[in-house]
Amino acid sequence: MVPRPAPQPSPPGGAGRRALLMGAAAWCAAAAGCAKSTGTPTAAGVRTQAEAAHATAPAPAPSGALPAAVPWRPGPGEIEPAVKLAAVRLVEALGTWPAGRGGPRNATARAAALGIPAPLAARFAAEAGPLTPAADQAVVRVIDAQYGGLLPDTASVLIPCAQSTRTGSTVREGGTTIDVRLERTAAGWAVTALHPGRPGRPAAAPGAPARAVLAQPRIELPPGSAADIRSGAVHESVLRAMLRLADTFRFSVSVVRSGHPVDVFGTSRPSDHPLGRAFDVWAVDGRPVVDPATPRSLITAFMRAAAAAGSYNVGGPVRLSGGTRPNQFFSDATHHDHVHVGFAA
């Protein structure tokens, strides 16, 4: 079934909450090593989606030091950039802290510094889960922000991110995917809940397709998606399609299984993602799907190649004609910024 969300009533709670008026300056004040930013399109030290497509690994840092925190900002072509900024600034604030400023109390303070009421900030700090590990210092790096759903008054923003942490002299690399829920209020878009991805433990012996995907340099996987594949919970049809697409394209995955809404947003229909039968792509050959400068011919070629690789359900910024199955291709506001590739049971 084509996952086209129909408008539904807003979830309970929060209609009168203060909106998250997220500015890069407020986040920078709470983060260590963050370059100053005015939040304008030309602000120094702020990564756009196009820049992030070529910067999926942490910047080199001295031994024992963490990379500098660089705020994410939306590039051109976004439908509702304020939604993504509200979600991203909270994730950045919760997942980045200077030496000695970890723990729930400090996480609450960083969220409250964004203008979130203290009780709500404390709840978000508690919901952050893998985004706030026990560590002396941390820097989170947002890889992408894509819609998990976009309706007139509610939204889901999926944020795959990498995170560098330091405990003593030991630096570790990790990351997760966060499903951030928001609603429109009189003051703007406000975060209502956080749902971090939980991929599960690595399988004792991942199959050959999983090992091949993890080793394929033309498939760029965020930490959460790589963990999904290592867990053994991703269907082989997904893995084989990824490998087939990598013969022609280099592509950047945003979400596979964990960190995605259980149901197609705004509906009661189960999503293929939590079942391990879908993946989303936010950039093809280093070109963000959402960027109007990205050739539509590149995106449509990728979508048709995904269908040829066995996907029954290919969504993206363009609704294509044809296909081997009814309604094989679809497009809507949610899929304006990525290509969805789904597989039947």
Give mean pLDDT, residues 135-161.
97
Q: What is the pLDDT of residues 19-55, one digit of tens each?
A: 333 333 344 444 433 333 333 333 334 455 555 544 4
Residue 18 lies in a domain: no
Q: Residue 285 is part of a domain; what is its CATH number?
A: 3.30.1380
Distance of CA 229 to the CA centre of its chain: 16
Q: Is residue 1 part of a domain?
A: no
Q: How confident is the model at residue 324 (pLDDT cuts 50, 70, 90)?
A: confident
Q: How far is CA 275 from CA 241, 287, 290, in A?
A: 16, 28, 26
Residues 36 and 176 in one domain: yes
Distance CA 277, CA 292 (A): 29
Count up the domains in the chain and report the number: 2
Mean pLDDT of 204-208: 92
Is 113 within a domain? yes
Q: Please check whether residues 55 and 184 belong to one and the same domain.
A: yes
Least confident residue range of 5-9, 67-71, 94-98, 332-336: 5-9
Mean pLDDT of the 63-86 span: 91
Q: Which CATH number fits the domain that encloses residue 82?
A: 3.10.450
Residue 203 is assigned to a structural domain of this protein: no
Q: Quickly state the pLDDT bin for 322 (edges 50, 70, 90).
A: confident
| Shared-domain flag, residues 235 and 183 | no
pTM attached to this predicted model: 0.84
User: Within a domain: residue 222?
Assistant: yes
- 228-247 exposure pattern, b = at least 16 Cβ within 10 A, e = fewer: bbbbbbbbebbbbbbbebbe
Same domain, 48 and 166: yes
Last residue of a domain, one of 167, 196, 225: 196
Domain match, 162 and 270 both:
no
150, two tokens: 């976009």
Average pLDDT score, the chain: 86
Write down which residue in 166, 196, 226 finishes a domain.
196
- Clarify whether residues 185 and 237 are in a common domain: no
Domain presence at residue 334: yes
Tell me: do 64 and 179 sit in the same domain.
Answer: yes
- The full DSSP string for 146-212 is EEEEE-SSEEEEEEEEEEEEEETTEEEEEEEEEEEEEEEETTEEEEEEEEE----PPPSS--HHHHH
Boundary-marking domain end, from 196, 222, 237: 196
Same domain, 167 and 233: no
End-to-end CA distance of the chain: 12
Instruction: Record the tokens describing residue 87, joined without a space.
Output: 């979600």
Please tell me whether residues 217 and 156 are part of one structural domain.
no
Domain annotation covers residue 8: no
Determine the pLDDT at residue 52: 53
Proportion of the chain above pLDDT 70, given as a percent: 81
| Confidence (pLDDT) at 25 | 37
pLDDT for position 330: 95
Task: Say if residue 44 is in the same domain as residue 93.
Answer: yes
The parent domain of residue 335 ranges over 208-342
Tell whether 202 is covered by a domain.
no
Task: Give Cα separations from 311 to 46, 240, 278, 319 (angstroms).
Answer: 36, 11, 9, 15
Residues 272 and 188 grouped into a single domain: no
Is residue 155 located within the same domain as residue 110? yes
pLDDT at residue 323, rounded to an integer:
79
pLDDT digit string, tens, across residues 251-283: 999 999 999 999 889 998 999 999 999 999 999
Cα dist from 282 to 171, 222, 309, whole Å = 28, 11, 18
